[in-house]
Copies of this chain bind each other. A is one copy, B any other.
Amino acid sequence: MLIGNAIVGQSGGPTAAINATLAGVIKGAFESEAIETVYGALNGVEGILKGTVCNLSEIIKGEADLELLAHTPAAALGSCRLKLPKMDEKPEVYEQIINFFKENNIRYFFYIGGNDSMDTVAKLSLYCAQNDYEMRVMGVPKTIDNDVMGTDHTPGYGSAAKYIAASMQEILRDTAVYKVKAVTIVEIMGRDAGWLTCAAALPRLNSDVAPDLVYLPEVDFDMDNFMEDVRAALEVHPNVVVAVSEGARFADGTYVGASAQSGVTDAFGHAYLSGTGKALELAVKEKIGCKVRSVELNILQRCASHIASKTDLDESVMVGAAAVKAAVEGTTGKMMTYVRTSDDPYEVECSSEDIQKIANMVREVPRDFINERGNNVTDECLKYIAPLTYGEPDIKYVNGLPVHFVIK
Contact = CB atoms under 8 A, between A and B. Distances in A.
A214 interface: no
Interface string A174-209: 101111000000000000000000000011011110
A304 B167 contact: yes
Given A268-B282, A282-B268, A400 B202 contact: yes
A272 B270 CA distance: 14
Interface stretch (A23-31, A117-125, A388-396): A388-396
A253 B170 CA distance: 34
Given A178-B80, A399-B390, A406-B208, A73 B166 contact: no
A305 interface: yes
Nearest to A19: B173
What copy number does this chain have within its complex?
Answer: 2
10 contacts: A74-B176, A78-B178, A162-B400, A259-B267, A261-B267, A264-B264, A266-B274, A270-B286, A295-B300, A389-B400
Interface string A290-311: 0000011011101111110100
B166 A306 contact: yes
Nearest to A398: B206
Contact of A303 (B10, B170, B300): B170
Contact of A171 (B262, B272, B296, B300): B300
A300 B167 contact: yes
Nearest to A170: B303
A169 B303 CA distance: 10
Contacts of A390: 399-400
A177 B264 contact: no
B399 A78 contact: no
A170 B267 contact: no
Interface in A299-353: 299-300, 302-307, 309
Contact of A170 (B79, B304, B386, B406): B304
Contacts of A363: none
Interface residues of A, number: 72
Nearest to A406: B208
A48 to B, nearest CB: 15
B263 A282 contact: no
Interface in A206-244: 206-208
A65 to B, nearest CB: 15
B267 A260 contact: yes
Interface string A62-97: 000000000011110011110000000000000000
A166 B300 CA distance: 10
Interface of A: 10, 14, 43, 72-75, 78-81, 162, 165-167, 169-171, 173-174, 176-179, 202-203, 205-208, 259-268, 270, 272, 274, 282, 285-286, 295-296, 298-300, 302-307, 309, 386, 389-392, 397-404, 406
A169 B295 contact: no
Given A267-B282, A295-B299, A178 B81 contact: yes
A79 B165 contact: no
A166 B401 contact: yes
B298 A295 contact: yes
Contacts of A78: 176-179
A183 to B, nearest CB: 14
A406 B207 CA distance: 10
Interface centre among A176, A285, A305 (most CB of B within 10 A): A176
B303 A165 contact: no
B73 A173 contact: yes
Contacts of A169: 401-402, 404
Contact of A206 (B74, B170, B260, B401): B401
Contacts of A274: 266, 272
